[in-house]
Amino acid sequence: MGSGECSYGLAYLLLNNRLDYFWVLLIFATLSELCVALSATRTIHTKYGDISGVIVTPDNRHLDAVEVFKGIPYASPPVGSLRFMPPVTGALWSGVKVADRFSPVCPQRLPDISNETLALKKMPRGRLEYLKRLLPYLKNQSEDCLYLNIYAPAQEEEEENKRKEEEEEEEKEEEGKEEEEEEVEEMKEKEEEEEDEEEGEKEKEKEREEK
């Protein structure tokens, strides 16, 4: 549910409700909290620190939403005394890093495709079209370029949480039932014992009477 839908829900409540002001405020607070929670992605714990990504829904109904983490540092920036040295473990960070933007790419010379006629003499059209899409992302170059971009299928966190809760509830219910059943059995056993005792006493009485 996006924030747009949340606003619609609230508008609907305001138009149709005859609740008093207090309840409207309470509902608003609850709804806005819900909306924030739903639009944020999960937090991933890494050994360097926590990160959260962004959910991207492709403009194509055949493609599912993906959770994108852009620009995750995986080593210290190879600059200064670290230039041309093997990668060094990155610094830890505190708090949640929001991985929502690309970092610079490593320095490289990009093919010149400004003159398409000229470019097509050197490469097939497929490659030209691919480069047209790719090059804008390679403009921001820097030696400080040791970053990862990770794309993962978006997880329906909401649904997963719901399913977990339901499973837990079912388990609890089953445990409850088992306990109830045990109690019923115990009670039955007690009753039977009592009955046995009673019958025993009755028999003893009879014996006494007979004597």
Ligand X SMILES: *[C@@H]1O[C@H](CO)[C@@H](O)[C@H](O)[C@H]1NC(C)=O
Residues at the interface with ligand X (CB under 6 A): 103-104, 115, 117-118, 140
Closest separation in Å from C-beta 136 to ligand X:
10
Closer by beta carbon to ligand X, 37 or else 118: 118
Closer by beta carbon to ligand X, 73 or else 154: 73
Closer by beta carbon to ligand X, 35 or else 69: 69
How many other C-beta atoms can be found within 10 angstroms of the C-beta atom of residue 182?
10
Q: Could you give the angle at which helices 21-39 and 3-16 cross, rounded to 10 degrees?
A: 170
Handedness of CA 23, 25, 31, 37 (dihedral sign): negative
Cα–Cα distance measured from residue 23 to residue 14, given in angstroms and rounded to the nearest whole number: 10
One-letter amino acid at 106 equals C
The H or E element spanning position 23 is helix 21-39
Closest separation in Å from C-beta 51 to ligand X:
16
| Ramachandran angles phi, psi of 168, nearest 5° | -60, -45
Closest separation in Å from C-beta 140 to ligand X:
4
Closer by beta carbon to ligand X, 7 or else 140: 140
